[in-house]
Amino acid sequence: MRVAVVSDIHGNRHAFEAVLEAVTAAECEELWCLGDLVGYGAEPDECVDLAREHCAVCLAGNHDLGVTGELPLEDFSPGARLAAEWTAEAIAPETLEFLKTLRPMCEQEPAGLYHASPRDPIWEYVLSPLQADLCLDVQARRVCLVGHSHIALSFCRHEGSTATGQTRSADELLDVSDGEWLLNPGSVGQPRDGDRRAAWLELDLERWSAAYRRTEYDVAGAAAAIRAARLPDSLAERLKYGQ
């Protein structure tokens, strides 16, 4: 089975719709979301509706949990806190109820799924080989998927060695059939690796291969929606640069 993996959509309907079209064209059989359906973007209801329609698995991210009140907003950066407060006031009741059903991890699939990391599913940014080693020690599956950092990357560890890792570019292909792996698809709604295109991952669960994908979307439309909602202008501006 081939699945598409997305994360960190952050209320960016324009990016999510473009990725869904690309996923359909790739003929993936399921869609897994690693969380943060809402957050920095201005169309949270639309993104949650799309996730409810298309995702076979959907996790909660820290921004989702902040909006539902399960995490204190004092733990967020100023911009993230303002966006969460706006989202909590703007979303429909059914959107809030759906977000409340989500959890930040799932260990029932062939690959382990965590919003942030196997050690801390809500908050940990896995950005170094040392962190990856510690996560690989405790993860429930040989191959695990994480989001949260908004950076497309991978870490691998083979028997007798320590973990190594690197960022990943569009259309890079990986053979993950051997060793232990931690894969991050990058962000759909707010990439932070210098590539403004929406990021996602195509994972073949039979061949155990992974393909990193990037999809163009209407960045100007997503930025205009943020400005129309009177959210911080920096949240709109950064979309142009993938930062």
pLDDT tens digits for range 113-149: 999 999 999 999 999 999 999 999 999 999 999 999 9
- How far apart (Å, rounded) are the C-alpha atoms in residues 14 and 19? 9
Q: Give residue 106's pLDDT band: very low, low, confident or very high (50, 70, 90).
A: very high
Altogether, the residues listed in the chain come to a count of 243
Residue 35: count other Cβ atoms within 10 Å of its Cβ. 31
pLDDT tens digits for range 203-218: 999 999 999 999 999 9
Q: What is the mean pLDDT of the chain?
A: 97
Estimate the share of the chain in helix, then strand, then coil, as percent rounded to the nearest 5. Answer: 35, 20, 45
pLDDT tens digits for range 64-100: 999 999 999 998 999 999 999 999 999 999 999 999 9
- What integer pLDDT is reported at residue 63 of this predicted model? 98
Closest to 62 in 3D by CA, of 45, 38, 92: 38
- What integer pLDDT is reported at residue 124 of this predicted model? 98
- How far apart (Å, rounded) are the C-alpha atoms in residues 172 and 142? 20
Domain count, the chain: 1
Residue 19 structure tokens: 């990725």
- What integer pLDDT is reported at residue 146 of this predicted model? 98
Closest to 42 in 3D by CA, of 239, 184, 227: 227
Full residue range of the structural domain in which residue 45 is found: 2-240
pTM over 0.75: yes
- What integer pLDDT is reported at residue 117 of this predicted model? 98
> What CATH number is associated with residue 82?
3.60.21.10
- What integer pLDDT is reported at residue 199 of this predicted model? 98
What is the percent of the chain with per-residue pLDDT over 90, rounded to a whole number?
Answer: 99
Q: Give residue 173's pLDDT band: very low, low, confident or very high (50, 70, 90).
A: very high
User: Residue 48: enclosing H or E segment and its boundaries?
Assistant: helix 44-54
